[in-house]
Amino acid sequence: MKNLTEGNITDAVLKAIDGTKDARAKEVMSSLIRHLHAFVKDVQLTQDEWEGAIEYLYDTGQITGPTRNEFILTSDTLGISSLVDIINSNPDGGTEASVLGPFYIEGSKMVEIGTNLIGDSEGEPTVVSGIVRTLGGDPIEGAIIDVWQTAANGLYENQDPEQPENNLRCKMLTNKDGYYEFTTIKPVSYKVPTDGPVGRMLDLQGRHAWRPSHLHYKVSADGHRNLITEVFCEEDEYIEEDAVFGVRKSLAVPYKKISSEEEAKKYGISSPFYRVEFDFELETL
């Protein structure tokens, strides 16, 4: 009988998974085991610390449900989601990806180009538009733009029982020029939820929970790689210190303030308002 020690237990576990048939699964699991064991040895993890980690995972599962995913938020606040994005994003030079975040919902309502999403929402009126193109610069007709954002109180519709269902989120199809446009309110910087395990972790690390103002996008079109990204307000005070590390320079744009009643009237909103333009370049599959 072999005596297991700190020095040989990693090899014993690696040997135990040697029969994994799927080559990629074997590669990923082997590396995970090696790194986790190395980490435990590196910090000489105590029993109490191990129990704390298990409790963290348990609590993360308990607070996770259809409208909140604390596992994603953990991944986001540890920079894992962004690292995965950076590794896999735009290999051919298209628009950079950014985190999906925990507040996406499938099945947003489909609306016409130019729709006003404001409804009863408070906030500063903002017109958002742009063009979806191929890498070669050709407009893509019929691309699906799926967008979601916070209300002025910093909450997404699915975090806030006071907001109507589907508030400040929609899908639309680009026209023959690849164009999309909608009117909304300026998204605000907000804190990721801190009433769960992630909040405890941020406290422990002496970090704030703020994200700079952004619009979330999912952009898809036949024959093209799906894009999940965010478009940031470049003047936001948290642009350099996003709690989830989602900001990329290429995704930060100005919100131009326009003080013209005549212009505002065209969109059925009041002046002053903001204008945001962002074009997407999708990679071919």
Alpha helices (runs of H) in the chain, residue ranges in sequence order: 9-16, 23-43, 47-63, 70-77, 80-88, 197-205, 261-266
Question: How many whole angstroms from its chain centre is CA 161?
Answer: 22
Q: Work out how close the CB of 174 gets to Fe ion at its nearest, in angstroms, rounded to a whole number.
A: 23
Question: How many whole angstroms from its chain centre is CA 170?
Answer: 16
For Fe ion, give the closer residue by CB, 73 or 282. Answer: 73
> Which range touches Fe ion (CB under 5 A), out of 32-40, 101-109, 115-123, 269-277?
101-109
For CA atoms 91, 234, 195, 36, give the dihedral sign.
positive
Q: Work out how close the CB of 241 gets to Fe ion at its nearest, in angstroms, rounded to a whole number.
A: 15
Residues near Fe ion (CB under 5 A), total: 1
Q: Work out how close the CB of 187 gets to Fe ion at its nearest, in angstroms, rounded to a whole number.
A: 8
For Fe ion, give the closer residue by CB, 99 or 118. Answer: 99
For Fe ion, give the closer residue by CB, 101 or 196. Answer: 101
Q: What does the block give as tokens for 96?
A: 């950079």
Using Cβ positions, the residue closest to Fe ion within the complex turns out to be 101
> Which range touches Fe ion (CB under 5 A), out of 43-51, 99-107, 162-170, 256-264?
99-107
Q: Work out how close the CB of 247 gets to Fe ion at its nearest, in angstroms, rounded to a whole number.
A: 12
Q: Give the one residue of 72, 82, 101, 274 binding Fe ion; rule: CB under 5 A.
A: 101
Residue 36 near residue 13, CB atoms below 8 Å: no
Q: Residue holding tokens 């019929």?
A: 142
- Tell me the backbone φ, ψ of residue 228, rounded to 5 degrees: -115, 120
> Which range touches Fe ion (CB under 5 A), out of 62-70, 93-101, 240-248, 266-274?
93-101
* Alpha-carbon span 166 to 183, nearest angstrom: 15
Site of interaction with Fe ion (CB under 5 A)? 101
